[in-house]
Amino acid sequence: MGKKLFLTIVLIVFTISAEGCWDRKELESMGLIQALGLDLEEDKQITVTAMIAIPSKLGATAEGGGSSEGPGVLLISMKAPSIYEAFNLMNTTVNLEVTLLQNQVLFIGEDMAKFGISRWIDNLIRFREMRRTLLIFICKGKAANLMKMQPKLDLNPAEHFRDLVMISKRSGMFPMTNLHDFMRRYESLTQENYAPLLTEFKPQEITEEPSQGGESSGDEGEAKKPEEKKPVEIRIAGTAVFKGDRVVGHLDLYETQVLQIITNRFREAFLTLPDPLDKNTKIAFRLTTAKPTRIKFTQKEIPHFTVDVWMEASIVSIQNVIDYTTPAMENFLRQKIASALKHRIEKVIHKAQTDFQADIFGFGQKVRNTMLTTTDWERYRWPKKFPKANVSVNMHVYIRRVGVQFQPPKTQK
């Protein structure tokens, strides 16, 4: 009798546990947020802007695999004391339960970034739906305004930003920062934070020339049609630099390349320099990383670092007829490239030390590795020592290729 009772109890337990779908949510009932924007208001509350996917427009319903009826997302903004209370307010008008399960991008407005984001950090990392892989962007102005952009090559703006950041591997002009990397740097004293900087972009338009004689192409009495307001276009303008939890400045696109080089995030890019023998012409190179950048720390009263950078340059364009393919000329050109790159790197490091006083390069990690205990590291107070540190740069450049045209073309006189 005891065995039968035991088996009965076991079967009942397994039966109850097998019915594990009691808390499931149907996909059709969920409002899937693709991107999230945060803006600080004057009363220190936040405006949360959600970019919610419209499945009928993102699906393969039109030629080319998507809908042609406008953007595939819905934008909605709510002001609230916290991110998640804003979701409750969104559900007073959106008939789907908003969720962050598919969120890919986080936009932080300029006001919030300059004020400091420490009070909202817990919102970002504690909630289980906030994925650590989502990309972070700092917006010049309001995040809600920049999120109105409509990419021309993708129906989903969130996918547009994800793909755009991936392109940085071929240019090195902006960093890729996800929430995990951001929090790792935020919680450490070895390196200050940084993230891509977004701003509005007004592309040049081709204007039609007026007809000859000043004649109007339309009827004189015809009223002019009001100009249609075009969607916001945005671009990545460089890198926003943090000190602690606040943005204190930014690097432009070319300065960001230096940041990428020192932090070993740089792969390749094109570089154009004035010809050292003819200042009226230029030489273009394809620059690639030869091997990882090495940072060496020397334990002194004043911290000293030696940065060794190895690059390979392939010539892609020479605007004059000077032959740089001989060994002597190739070595001369190599030295000039190395000198120009060294000057750029030293200039950006100096800017970080004087203008930002923020170690965005990770020099502090080398210092921490020499400390025996965490207490010793905290007493060292690296953030205060970084502005006075000495940094020497050694630039090693090798010309790998001179292009498919070995010697410059010769013209007949």
pLDDT in tens, 260-316: 999 999 999 998 999 888 888 999 999 999 999 999 999 778 899 999 999 999 888
Highest mean pLDDT among 7-16, 118-127, 219-228, 333-342: 333-342
Q: Which amino acid is at 412?
A: Q
Distance CA(335)–CA(195), nearest Å, equals 33
Confidence of residue 136 (pLDDT cuts 50, 70, 90): very high
Question: What average pLDDT does this structure show over 50-78?
Answer: 68
Instruction: Say if residue 92 is in the same domain as residue 154.
Output: yes
Task: Report the pLDDT value the prediction gives residue 64, as an integer from 0 to 100.
Answer: 41
pLDDT at 24: 58
Averaged pLDDT for residues 105-120: 92
Give residue 58's pLDDT band: very low, low, confident or very high (50, 70, 90).
low
Say if residue 197 is in the same domain as residue 336: no
Residue 17 lies inside a defined structural domain of this protein:
no
- Nearest CA to 288 out of 237, 235, 341, 326 is that of 341
Residue 115 clears pLDDT 50, i.e. is over it = yes
273 plus 146 within the same structural domain: no
Rg (CA), the chain: 28
Whether residues 338 and 393 fall in one domain: yes
Confidence of residue 78 (pLDDT cuts 50, 70, 90): very high
- Which of the four pLDDT bands, split at 50, 70 and 90, describes residue 161? confident
Q: Pick from 30-34, 35-39, 53-57, 313-317 the range whose average pLDDT is largest.
A: 35-39
Residue pair 400/315 in contact (Cβ under 8 Å)? The answer is no
Per-residue model confidence (pLDDT) at position 245: 92
Which of the pair, 252 or 279, is modelled with greater confidence? 252
Is the pLDDT score of 63 beyond 50? Answer: no
Beta pairing class for 278-298 and 268-275: antiparallel
Does residue 208 lie in a domain region?
A: no
Q: Is residue 90 part of a domain?
A: yes
Residue 89 shares a structural domain with residue 195? yes
What residues make up the domain containing 388?
A: 265-405
In a 3-state reduction of DSSP, which class is residue 180? helix
CATH of the domain at 297: 3.30.300.210
Coil/strand/helix, residue 136: strand
- The confidence band for 224, taking pLDDT boundaries of 50, 70 and 90, is low
* Residue pLDDT, tens place only, 94-106: 888 888 888 889 9
Quick one: what percent of the chain has pLDDT higher than 70?
81
d(CA 224, CA 355): 50
pTM equals 0.81
Read off the pLDDT of each residue in 107-116 and give the average, rounded to a whole number: 94
Burial of 281 (0-12, 13-18, 19+ CB in 10 A): middle
When the pLDDT of each residue in the chain is averaged and rounded to a whole number, the result is: 83
Average pLDDT of 108-120? Answer: 92
Distance separating alpha carbons of residues 290 and 5, to the nearest angstrom? 72
Q: CA-to-CA distance for 341 and 258, rounded, in angstroms?
A: 9
Looking at the structure, tell me whether residues 129 and 77 fall in a common domain: yes
Domain count, the chain: 2
- At 169 the pLDDT is 74
Parallel, antiparallel or unpaired: strands 30-40 and 268-275: unpaired
Kindly state whether residues 398 and 299 are assigned to the same domain. Answer: yes
**pLDDT band at 200, cuts 50/70/90?**
confident
Instruction: Round to whole Å and give the CA distance between 74 and 31.
Output: 10
115, 169 contact by CB (below 8 A): no
The DSSP 8-state label assigned to residue 371 in this structure reads -
Lowest mean pLDDT among 15-24, 79-88, 350-359, 395-404: 15-24
Beta strands in 211-330 (DSSP E): 234-243, 246-251, 268-275, 278-298, 304-318
The answer to whether the CB of 243 falls within 8 A of the CB of 357 is: yes
Task: Choose the weakest-confidence range: 188-202, 225-239, 383-397.
Answer: 225-239
Cα distances from 131 to residues 36, 229, 333, in angstroms, run: 12, 35, 48
Instruction: Write out the E strands in 81-133.
Output: 97-99, 105-108
Structure tokens at 63: 């030629």
Judge if 269 and 343 occupy the same domain: yes
- Does 368 fall in a domain? yes
- Read off the pLDDT band of 205 (50, 70, 90): low
169 and 272 assigned to the same domain: no
Residue at 399 is within a domain = yes
Q: Is the per-residue pLDDT at 157 higher than 50?
A: yes
Residue 332 lies in a domain: yes
Torsion of the alpha carbons at 87, 92, 93 and 95, rounded to the nearest 10: 80
Calculate the alpha carbon distances from 325 to 27, 316, 329, 400 in Å: 63, 13, 6, 11
Q: What is the DSSP letter of 173?
A: S
Is there a single domain that holds both residue 196 and residue 275?
no
**Residues 169 and 296 reside in one and the same domain:** no
Residue 350: which H helix or E strand, with range? helix 327-351
pLDDT higher than threshold 60 for residue 366: yes
Q: Are strands 30-40 and 97-99 parallel, antiparallel or unpaired?
A: parallel
- 310 and 190 within one domain: no
The pLDDT score that the predictor gives to residue 26 is 64
Distance CA 50, CA 84 (A): 11
Provide the pLDDT for residue 171. 81
